[in-house]
Structure 1
Amino acid sequence: MIAITGARGVGKTTLMLQHQVLGLEKESRSLYVSLDHPYFFDHSLLSLAEQFYKEGGRFLFIDEVHKFPNWSRELKMIYDLFPTLKTVFSASSALEIFKGESDLSRRVMIYHLHGLSFREYLSYQLKMTFEAYTLQEIIQNHETIVRSLMSELEERVLRLFKEYLEWGYYPFALELNKKESQIRINQVINVILDTDMAYAEGYTAATAHKLKKLLAVLAETVPFQPNVSELARKLGIARDTIYQYLKLLERGLLISPLYAQGKGISLFQKPEKLFLENTNLAFALQNYPDLGNLRETFFFNQLRNAGKEVLSPKSGDFLIDGQLFEIGGKSKNKKQIAQEASAFVVADDILIGYQNKIPLWLFGFLY
């Protein structure tokens, strides 16, 4: 049994349908169902799986699993009762899929689907294939890597990078124009807060309204250094509730917290900074997002999506694998991190770097 999680809009449904049509043999006997279909108003998931299995079904793809009552119990029963039925289901990132009445942890392999990397965006837009690189490969060989890419990308890479920051993170942008993409991103935000979050324990319409207010406050100032007392005063809610709301926004993949080096992470641990989860959200929530914030948000997002632990250091912007990174424009220098042995300047608006100065866009080739 496989679970696919990820933010709304990143392509979980498309991925399952493509695999069903293109990844399985024609006689594989597969079925796709979405649990928000009216059929499930008076039918159980278990009864459908049983009927499908008896008729020879062997691959079951289940979408919007969190919209079905007792979904975890029924999935557990499907797993136990039909041993040759291979099941794949998608789940909202706002949902804790192992928290419930039935323990699925020993039965399910979880895969998280991220939004497009800059590398993937380029591949789709230019109809080309580009290699992904590790962080250490970029650090050690960035000049060589960029020269090899320039024969195909040339100077248009900077124009495409700006497009990506604005509307290229979600795959649906590949088929829409800029205005349509931003409308769709706003719809994604509303569906997460109004619908997906509604399946979290204790979530109400009042909670949704306050989360929207909180997100609007954060969007104006991200990367936001949280003053929980000030947020509580502005929104008229308790400090502890602010922490819980921030966790909900994080689970919905609308914000990403950056924690300090050497500090633990818990429900009531205040992060050093809060970022929007990706730069496209900034353009959907604000008319003119701050350029410095966009740069940091992009870097943080791509490194996290590549599986790296990113921390807030005492000097510099980010600490990853014991290495410091300072983010800025093309004139940025190492002044703030000059005393650090392993430190790098990540600069926007440059095609190619030199020594410890690396182009920002190249960190979009990590996955």
Structure 2
Amino acid sequence: MKIAFYGSSLLSSYWNGAATYYRGILRELAARGYAIHFYEPDAFDRQQHRDIDPPDWATVTVYPATVEALGRVMDEAADADVVVKASGVGVFDDELIAGVMQRAAPHALHIFWDVDAAATLDEMRVAPQHPVRQALPGLDLVLTYGGGDPVVNAYREMGARECIPVYNALDPASHFPVPPDPRFACDLAFLGNRLPDRERRVEEYFLHAAALLPDRSFLIGGNGWDSKAMPANVRHRGHVYTAEHNAFNCTPLAVLNVARDSMAQVGFSPATRVFEAAGAAACLITDAWEGIELFLTPNEEVLVARDGQDVADHLAALTPERARSIGQAALDRVKREHSYALRGEQVDAILRDHAGRTVTRQPQMERA
């Protein structure tokens, strides 16, 4: 089957946390015989900060962020057996969800893949005319990268015929233990871009913890933090390329995961960083969210914190021996239960199950 996938970027993780998720799942689908064509706009300087060259397992079209180029790439949806519009492309999101589904062949699977479901649902609740909400009745299914039953039920209430979570996972060929790198030496490291619905929680779980432990060293990586006031014991690293993630995770005594507001409220939404850290056998401290035990066992495979004080307490009590034990247990768990090979198998089964039983489409009016 041919898959036309319209997403933010396969080639760059710059201001694009979904990159490794796309790569892990789509590479596995390619290995199962799917022909992958990924369409990404030239936007947000992502092409100037590529992590990878176009891979041999996918065709990648980078199109200018113009109306003319948008029309050309949307027209190509007609040639696919599976048409996927992902959330958070960043430009022309509204036009894409309507345009590619209208152009897709009647026999093709029409899929919306939400990589930020909690935020999308919040938008749709207050906007009955939201383009995604309007598209739901004509879609075969919605896939999400997290959210569990709360997200599934909410999507069904909004009109989705079916919603299935496909969680983040580990790519053991990309994320694995490596020797320490002095550039990332510290007691606690955090990696994530500065976003409005994450900043407050970073202030609480990371910066507050740093203020409570002035004799310990902290490192923050990601875009946007250079203008943020921080305690003197916090270093700012800037953008950390995917190829550097293993060293970033392996070097500190522990690494911190902080969910965005919406994901923390819904739960069942482990970030990509959780599996990257576990894959590197890092000792992970995460903010508390419902469903964590489905992925990692608290106090054995991960340390869970309710606030910055908990983070400081975990770090103060953590020895290198216990950090190594927790990290190794996490690595063993995710390799066994949360690999992209398993996620690829799941998506393959979903697509094959739905092929040939697409929904009855309403006759389309004028194309978008």
Which TM-score applies when normalising by structure 1?
Answer: 0.37
Which TM-score applies when normalising by structure 2?
Answer: 0.36
Rg comparison, structure with higher value = 1
